[in-house]
Amino acid sequence: MRKLSIGMLFLAAAGCAMAQQWEFGGVGGGAFLNTVNVSSSSGSATAGFEKSFVAGVFVGQTISPHISGEIRYEFMPSNLQLASGGTTATFSGQAHTLHYDLLLRTGHKEGPVQFFAAIGGGMKIFRGTGTEAAYQPLSQYGYFTKTQALKPMASVGGGVVFRVSKHVNFRAEVRDFITAFPTQVITPPPGVKYPTLLHELVPMAGLSYMF
């Protein structure tokens, strides 16, 4: 009897694993609004990162007909930027994100169209990759550094999935990547403070394969 019970448990676990669907895909898009307002006795400026393209990949697993989970990676070649009064200073840079999101879906997973909301978290690495110089424009508002900073990241957003065929999906989505401002990469001088949070609005589209 005991052997029969153990066998039934193994069969049930195998059935659950076979019922789960996996999804692998790639996305591309752009990164916007990734700056903060800075004020000091010298005046005002914006500090942050230039607009850039985004490329990423993800692996997802269907947990239930309306819930799935995804591990995602995105790369953004975002140059560091300071701007004030018509003057702009830039410094080569990039960012990498790695996060896990839960997707809450409407409709059935086999349906032709599904809307979804996404929430999750992970980490974002900011890197300054340029050459540091003794003189930098707008240094009264910040200094560019050739270093990197690892920050915890929250990911929220939503989108829509169109079923192209039995195994292929097309998706369009918008994410907000929220982190603390990386003051190790753009360092404020004494007397200048940057806002705490940095938002990055990221619209993306992509294709995925279900198996």
Q: Does residue 82 surpass a pLDDT of 60?
A: yes
CA atoms within 13 A on the CB side of 66: 4
- At 105 the pLDDT is 92
Residue 81: how many CB atoms within 10 A of its CB?
23
State yes or no: pLDDT of 126 exceeds 90: yes
Q: What is the pLDDT of residue 130?
A: 95
CATH of 21-210, one of 2.40.10.10, 2.60.120.20, 3.40.50.300, 2.40.160.20: 2.40.160.20
Task: Name which residue leads in pLDDT, 173 or 9.
Answer: 173
CA neighbor of 89 nearest in space, from 37, 46, 148, 146: 46
Task: Outline where the chain has alpha helix (H).
Answer: 2-19
Q: Among 134, 157, 129, which residue's Cα sits nearest to residue 49?
A: 129
Cα–Cα distance between 143 and 18 in angstroms, integer? 54
Residue 110's pLDDT is 67
* pLDDT tens per residue, range 179-201: 999 999 999 999 898 999 999 99
**How do residues 4-52 score in pLDDT, each as one tens digit?**
344 433 333 334 444 578 999 999 999 998 899 998 887 899 999 999 9
Average of pLDDT values for 131-145? 93
Distance of alpha carbon 69 from alpha carbon 92, whole angstroms: 34
Q: What percent of the chain has pLDDT over 90?
A: 77
